Amino acid sequence: MSLAKRSVAELIGTFWLVLGGCGSAVLSAAFPNVGIGLLGVALAFGLTVLTMAYAIGHISGCHLNPAVSIGLWAGGRFPANQLLPYIGAQVSGAVVAGGVLYLIASGKAGFDVSSGLASNGYGLHSPGGYSLSASLLTEVVMTMMFLIIILGATDERVPQGFAPIAIGLGLTLIHLISIPVTNTSVNPARSTGVAVFVGSWATAQLWLFWVAPVIGGLLGAAIYRFIGSTGD
């Protein structure tokens, strides 16, 4: 499969992740009487990865996340010369999804983009008011565990065909834990895709949601390379 086709698959998959995950938070989480709440948003993010893993996993590997691509490279599963095309496609797909979500959400009277559009934040912009240090630690640890789940579930020694389920449920669990802290990123593309439409505080705090997931991805890869190696 050509790199161009795989990159387009990553763009489409990341588009779906941001539209489905952030869209559920913006449009459905607190909908009158039948809002899906935190549990529903967490499940929505997990379902986007689960569905795309089966749809495009055989085409691009379904990374949908710069931190995952970098972690897979560090884990010996992805070539360095394909990182930039993948990351570019992921960010592009996320921004397109953010734009679609903005257009939909702004169709409601009283919509105010400064409320966040499901952007990630810390301090005053953390859903639960968590500090920068708490948010940094959360994003590093959650992304680290996500990479361990991904690398373990896709290990050739594991029964084939079930990885999307483990990865999707893993992302759901990560959101259940960390939505109150940062609104959950673990994905720089997801954070960028909505932050560019919010601007102001969202773009000012975006650095954290690139730095922390990348560190977490590298840590997760290093840990799995150690515990997953066949040697003593």
The CATH number linked to 210 is 1.20.1080.10
**Closest alpha carbon to 3 in 95, 78, 94, 55:** 78
Tens of pLDDT along the chain (232 residues)? Answer: 899 999 999 999 999 999 999 999 998 876 556 567 888 999 999 999 999 999 999 999 999 999 999 999 999 999 999 999 999 999 999 999 999 999 999 888 777 787 778 999 999 999 999 999 999 999 999 999 999 999 999 998 888 889 999 999 999 999 999 999 999 999 999 999 999 999 889 999 999 999 999 999 999 999 999 998 876 6
Q: What is the pLDDT of residue 186?
A: 97
Q: Please report whether residue 232 resides in a domain.
A: no
Number of domains in the chain: 1
123 part of a folded domain: yes
**How far is the C-alpha of 7 from the C-alpha of 69, rounded, in Å?**
12
Three-state secondary structure string covering 134-188: HHHHHHHHHHHHHHHHHHHHCCCCCCCCCHHHHHHHHHHHHHHHHHHHHCCCCCH
0.95 surpassed by pTM: no
Residue at 13 is within a domain:
yes
Q: Which residue range is the domain that position 159 belongs to?
A: 3-227
* Structural domain includes residue 205: yes
Enclosing H/E stretch for 226: helix 208-227
Q: Helices 188-198 and 208-227 meet at what angle, rounded to 10?
A: 170
Structural domain includes residue 103: yes
Quick one: 34 exposed, middle or buried, by C-beta within 10 A (0-12, 13-18, 19+)?
A: exposed
